[in-house]
Structure 1
Amino acid sequence: FFFGENMVRKCPKNWKGIVIDAKGHLMGRLASVIAKELSRGQKIALVRCEDINISQSFMRNKFRLKNWMHKRHLTQPNKGPFHYREPRKMFWRVVRGMLPYKTAKGMAALNRMKVFEGVPPPFDKMKRAVCPPALRILRLAPGRKFCRLGDLATDIGWKHEKTVKVLEKKRKDKAVKHFKRKSQLKKIHKAATKIVDKIIPAIKYGDPNIKVGSL
Structure 2
Amino acid sequence: MEEIVIDGSNTILGRLASNVAKILLEGKRVVVINSEKIVVSGEPSKLIQFYKDTILNVKSHYSHKWRPKRARSPTRLFKKTVAGMLPKNNKKGEDALKRLTVFVGIPNKYKNKQAIKLQEISADKLGRKYTTLNVIAEQLGWKVSMIEQ
Pairing 1:137-152 to 2, within 5 Å after superposition = 137-138=124-125, 140-141=126-127, 144-152=128-136
For the pair 1:21 / 2:7, whether they are aligned, the reply is yes
Pairing 1:150-165 to 2, within 5 Å after superposition = 150-160=134-144, 162=145, 164=147
**Counterpart-to-counterpart distance in 2, 1:79 and 1:154:** 21
Render the CA deviation track for 1:150-191: whole Å, top value 9, x for unaligned. 01101111112x455x57xxxxxxxxxxxxxxxxxxxxxxxx
Q: AA paired with 1:126?
A: K
For the pair 1:111 / 2:95, whether they are aligned, the reply is no
Under a length normalisation based on structure 1, what TM-score does the superposition of the two structures give? Answer: 0.63
For the pair 1:52 / 2:42, whether they are aligned, the reply is no
Q: Residue 78 of structure 2 corresponds to which residue in structure 1?
A: 91
Q: Residue 131 of structure 1 corresponds to which residue in structure 2?
A: 118
**Counterpart-to-counterpart distance in 2, 1:163 and 1:75:** 32
Render the CA deviation track for 1:45-82: whole Å, top value 9, x for unaligned. 000100010101211111111111244353357574x4
Pairing 1:175-214 to 2, within 5 Å after superposition = none
For the pair 1:39 / 2:25, whether they are aligned, the reply is yes
For the pair shown, the structure with the greater C-alpha radius of gyration is 1
Point out the structure with the larger helix share: 1
Point out the structure with the larger strand share: 2
CA-based RMSD: 2.1
Structure 1, 46-55 or 57-66: larger mean CA deviation: 57-66
**Counterpart-to-counterpart distance in 2, 1:79 and 1:151:** 25
3-state SS, counterpart of residue 44 of structure 1: strand
Identity %: 29
Aligned length: 147
Q: AA paired with 1:26?
A: I
Under a length normalisation based on structure 2, what TM-score does the superposition of the two structures give? Answer: 0.88
Structure 2 spans left out of the alignment, 5+ residues: none
Higher relative contact order, structure no. (Cα contacts within 8 Å, ≥ 6 residues apart): 2
